[in-house]
């Protein structure tokens, strides 16, 4: 069960405040915390804690933040393939969380902006030995084209989490085994929103995408598969921090598929994993191990529409 993840890694600085800013407002933060992070970084660590062997392809600067990320990956048993960019700083994320556990994130890509298709192609042998590729949008888009091409060449399924979202090429999305936008991202990547007449299933179908999971935060998730929509509820719990919940979901989904689960089972596994992650503050402390996930697993009642 080997997964190759592409992604940004850097230092995340969390500031906890009572509420989010109004324009021009200065707020005093109640807590300060730092950890290594990035969407791909979180996904890589989450997949490793769930039992996968993980390669992580990334770029870092020649600085302490970059070295901290690589040390952390090693400690978690993730195999890093990192290009060191000497004239760039390692990425940095500014994460503001309020008392409800919601977060607002600003990312400076730094060295990760220089992740290149050439670097991906230079590591074709690494990707080729994987059972799954896990991609996102926190680095240049051309890298995803290069990775999807390698996936196609070796028949390796690709899960693409289009976060952060921008308008994407439907052809690239169609080549993925699965795309996993949240509701906002689903509209942005295809440039169309759900309306009274058209659901996401109709919109995706129009673009030739027949399989997708739309994550809905506290409302659960929607699996679109074989012309059907299956709605999954969320798991009620005390929310401490939603940061990284999507990354946990994607990693668990990838692991579940590789464990042989069908897609509805894999979505249920992903929802259970992300529900565990949001019960703890920050990202790294909340990423569950496979034992923790197994112990607290909750079966979900779904509703299906044709």
- d(C-alpha 121, C-alpha 264), whole Å: 33
Minimum Å gap between C-beta 291 and ligand RIB is 23
Residue 247 annotated among the catalytic residues of the structure: yes
Site for ligand RIB in 259-298 (CB under 6 A): 283
Query: Catalytic: which of 63, 122, 202, 247?
Result: 247
Radius of gyration of the chain (CA): 18
Q: Contact between 12 and ligand RIB (CB under 6 A)?
A: yes
Minimum Å gap between C-beta 199 and ligand RIB is 26
Nearer to ligand RIB, 64 or 198 (CB): 64
Q: Is 189 in contact with 181 (CB distance < 8 Å)? A: yes
- For residue 99, the SS3 value is coil
Q: Is 260 in contact with 254 (CB distance < 8 Å)? A: no
Question: CA-CA distances (angstroms) from residue 201 to 13, 166, 226, 279, 305?
Answer: 37, 19, 10, 31, 10
- Among 118, 122, 257, residue whose Cα is nearest residue 178: 257
Nearer to ligand RIB, 17 or 170 (CB): 17
Site for ligand RIB in 92-131 (CB under 6 A): 93, 105, 107
Nearer to ligand RIB, 39 or 201 (CB): 39
- d(C-alpha 257, C-alpha 176), whole Å: 14
Q: Contact between 37 and ligand RIB (CB under 6 A)?
A: yes
Minimum Å gap between C-beta 108 and ligand RIB is 10
Minimum Å gap between C-beta 284 and ligand RIB is 9
Q: Contact between 243 and ligand RIB (CB under 6 A)?
A: yes
Question: How many chain residues bind ligand RIB (CB under 6 A)?
Answer: 15
Nearer to ligand RIB, 4 or 90 (CB): 90
Minimum Å gap between C-beta 98 and ligand RIB is 16
Q: Which stretch binds ligand RIB (CB under 6 A): 32-40, 59-67, 118-126, 181-189?
A: 32-40
Can you name the residues that pair with 31 across neighbouring β-strands? 16
Question: CA-CA distances (angstroms) from residue 290 to 136, 189, 276?
Answer: 23, 32, 11
Question: CA-CA distances (angstroms) from residue 249 to 76, 85, 87, 224, 241?
Answer: 18, 30, 34, 16, 14
Retrieve residue 4's tokens: 């190759």
Selected binder of ligand RIB within 247, 249, 270, 286 (CB under 6 A): 247
Binding site for ligand RIB (CB under 6 A): 8, 12, 37-39, 42, 93, 105, 107, 138, 243-244, 246-247, 283
Active site residues: 247
């Amino acid at each position: 069960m080997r997964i190759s993840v592409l992604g940004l890694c850097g230092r995340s600085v969390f500031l906890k405040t009572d509420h989010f800013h109004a324009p021009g407002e200065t707020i005093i933060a109640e807590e300060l915390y730092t950890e290594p992070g990035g969407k791909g970084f979180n996904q890589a660590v989450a997949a490793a804690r769930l039992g996968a062997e993980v390669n992580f392809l990334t770029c870092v600067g020649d600085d302490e933040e970059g070295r901290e990320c690589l040390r952390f990956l090693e400690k978690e048993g993730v195999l890093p393939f990192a290009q060191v960019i000497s004239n760039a700083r390692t990425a940095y994320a500014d994460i503001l969380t309020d008392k409800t556990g919601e977060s607002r994130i600003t990312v400076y890509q730094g060295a990760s902006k220089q992740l290149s298709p050439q670097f991906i192609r230079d590591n074709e042998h690494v990707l080729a030995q994987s059972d799954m590729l896990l991609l996102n949008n926190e680095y240049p888009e051309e890298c995803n084209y290069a990775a999807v091409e390698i996936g196609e060449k070796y028949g390796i399924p690709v899960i693409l989490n289009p976060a952060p979202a921008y308008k994407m090429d439907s052809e690239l999305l169609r080549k993925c085994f699965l795309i996993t936008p949240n509701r906002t991202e689903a509209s942005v990547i295809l440039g169309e929103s759900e309306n009274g007449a058209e659901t996401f299933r109709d919109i995706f179908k129009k673009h030739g995408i027949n399989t997708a999971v739309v994550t809905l935060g506290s409302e659960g998730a929607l699996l679109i598969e074989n012309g059907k929509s299956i709605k999954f509820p969320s798991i009620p719990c005390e929310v401490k921090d939603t940061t990284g919940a999507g990354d946990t979901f994607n990693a668990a989904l990838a692991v579940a598929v590789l464990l042989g689960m069908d897609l509805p089972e894999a979505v249920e596994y992903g929802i259970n994993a992300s529900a565990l992650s949001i019960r703890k503050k920050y990202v790294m402390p909340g990423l569950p191990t496979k034992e923790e996930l197994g112990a607290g697993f909750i079966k979900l009642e779904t509703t299906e529409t044709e």
